[in-house]
Amino acid sequence: MRYNEGKSGDKLSVLGFGCMRFPRKGPVINVEEARKLVETAFESGVNYFDTAYLYPGSERALAASITGIRDKIFIADKMPTMLCVSASDFSKFFSKSLERLKTDHIDYYLMHMLTEMATWEKLRELGAEKWIAERKKNGAIRHVGFSFHGEQSEFLKIIDAYDWDFCQIQYNYIDAHNQAGQTGLLKAVSKGMPVMAMEPLLGGRLTNSLPKRVESVFREENPKYSFAEWALRWLWDQREVTLVLSGMNGVEQICENVRVADETRPGVLTAREREVFRLVRDEFNAAFKVRCTGCHYCMPCPHGVDIPTCFATYNAYCSINKITGIKQYMFNIGGLAPVQHYASQCVSCGKCEPKCPQRIPISQTLKEVAGKMESFWFKPMTAAARAIIGVNAKARK
Ligand code: SF4
Ligand code: SF4
């Protein structure tokens, strides 16, 4: 494993473990599986594990997986900033995280999902700076940073608004000039801050659902590289990236990522490969209508809309073909089940939109989805199909 040493003085593995996507058994994390993955990663040299108060079950599963190695790894955890409404909330959420993690300190503590300067100003008014200073003084927090999803101009304001130790940005070859982007990365590095890259595979979309044309471009260029390898090579080619957080949920995936981390040195990409990424970015952006990563932060919708699935199937409609998209919509959105989660159920209440890290105009986009996927025949046909197979639809207001 390669390591980077930044302003913090810690030797951080260039591959970090994102614990948001620990394997699940139904709705709960499969702790035994998670433990095996953490063990494998640790034995391969990974020493940075990223969780959050808001990732359901993740802190406890990580705690159960690091017995005996707590002092050999770095834990990154996050304050649920969107839930903080009073000064006492900082200590309340932080104490809960320590309790779940069974630890007395967090190595890298982030203000979770700052999207604009106003969010940080609100936290500052609640006393965040004083609270952080006290925790750093007593050693409960070693380094403080923020994770960011928003416009680049907001990132550039936030980064100058406090003496941050590090930051975490969404960064991958599609987002090279989106959100904080390369400009934000370089700005952070100029301030001596380690930068942790999240969403290296854009929630799996850069491996599982690339447009066919993009797949061909990569395969023609080098059939030996998997799509994940292409994405990771783009990141580790850049010496400014301190580490790449990957939500690994299989041993094979860990082994592949560790191998690519070892093999990819900064400056490794050829001019031709850089050109391939430019081409692929254009193809990708032309093919996908909605930049949803499937993170589920916007859920649940009080009116029952399955927002990420609506967008995933709409993307399939636009990038694969209409029939595939509509079939997926029908089966995955509850067309044949007792309860439906259609895009047309959206009443534009707006509750979901502030929670979306990709800043998708959700209700407006759902109208577009409903218009394309739910033609005049769609609901009568699925209702008839339910009747034939004996499924009773439950009325939803
Ligand atoms: S805007 Fe629509 S999708 Fe979002 S929470 Fe409200 S009803 Fe649900
Ligand atoms: S709409 Fe936004 S918040 Fe919801 S799953 Fe997609 S990216 Fe995540």
What residue spans define the domains of the chain? 3-286, 307-389
Which ligand has an atom closest to residue 202 CA? Answer: 2
Q: Which of 292, 307, 314, 342 to mutate to test the pocket of ligand 1 (most atoms within 8 A of CB)?
A: 307
How far is the centre of ligand 2, averaged over its atoms, from the C-alpha of 375 (Å)? 24
Crossing angle of helices 152-160/181-190, nearest 10°? 10
How far is the centre of ligand 2, averaged over its atoms, from the C-alpha of 149 (Å)? 12
The dihedral region occupied by 127, where left means phi > 0, alpha psi between -120 and 50, and beta the remainder, is left
pLDDT of residue 284: 83
Phi, psi angle pair for 74, to nearest 5°: -115, 130
pLDDT of residue 394: 54
* Cα–Cα dist 167/145, whole Å: 5
pLDDT of residue 395: 44
pLDDT of residue 58: 95
* Cα–Cα dist 36/273, whole Å: 35
Q: Which of 298, 351, 360 to mutate to test the pocket of ligand 1 (most atoms within 8 A of CB)?
A: 351
For the chain, 397 residues long, give each residue's pLDDT as a single digit of tens: 999 987 778 999 999 999 998 998 888 999 999 999 999 999 999 999 999 999 999 999 999 999 999 999 999 999 999 899 999 999 999 999 999 999 999 999 999 988 889 899 999 999 999 999 999 999 999 999 999 988 888 999 999 999 999 999 999 998 888 889 999 999 999 999 999 999 999 888 888 878 888 899 999 999 999 999 999 999 999 999 999 999 998 999 999 999 999 999 999 999 999 999 999 988 888 777 898 888 888 999 999 999 988 998 898 888 767 887 888 888 778 777 777 899 999 999 999 999 898 889 999 999 999 999 998 888 888 888 878 766 665 544 4
CATH topology of domain 3-286: TIM Barrel (3.20.20)
Size (the chain), residues: 397
pLDDT of residue 12: 97
How far is the centre of ligand 1, averaged over its atoms, from the C-alpha of 102 (Å)? 37
What is the three-class DSSP state of 325?
Answer: helix
pLDDT of residue 393: 55
Contact in structure between 193 and 243 (CB atoms under 8 Å): no
pLDDT of residue 160: 96
Q: Does residue 20 have its Cβ closer than 6 Å to ligand 2?
A: no
What is the three-class DSSP state of 165?
Answer: coil
How far is the centre of ligand 2, averaged over its atoms, from the C-alpha of 121 (Å)? 24
Q: Does residue 294 have its Cβ closer than 6 Å to ligand 2?
A: yes
pLDDT of residue 396: 47
Contact in structure between 200 and 172 (CB atoms under 8 Å): yes
Residue nearest to atom 7 of ligand 1 (CA): 346
How far is the centre of ligand 2, averaged over its atoms, from the C-alpha of 311 (Å)? 9
Crossing angle of helices 31-43/251-263, nearest 10°? 20
Q: Output the furthest CA–CA distance in the chain (Å, rounded).
A: 67
Phi, psi angle pair for 393, to nearest 5°: -70, 135
Crossing angle of helices 58-65/87-101, nearest 10°? 40
Report the atom number in ligand 2 closest to the C-alpha of 291: 7
Which ligand has an atom closest to residue 293 CA? Answer: 2
How far is the centre of ligand 2, averaged over its atoms, from the C-alpha of 102 (Å)? 31
pLDDT of residue 363: 96
Sorted by sequence, the CB contacts under 8 Å of residue 299 that are 6+ apart come out as 306, 307, 308, 352
Crossing angle of helices 307-319/362-373, nearest 10°? 50
Residue nearest to atom 7 of ligand 2 (CA): 292
Phi, psi angle pair for 112, to nearest 5°: -75, 130
The dihedral region occupied by 271, where left means phi > 0, alpha psi between -120 and 50, and beta the remainder, is alpha
DSSP run (H or E) holding 185: helix 181-190
pLDDT of residue 251: 94
How far is the centre of ligand 2, averaged over its atoms, from the C-alpha of 292 (Å)? 5
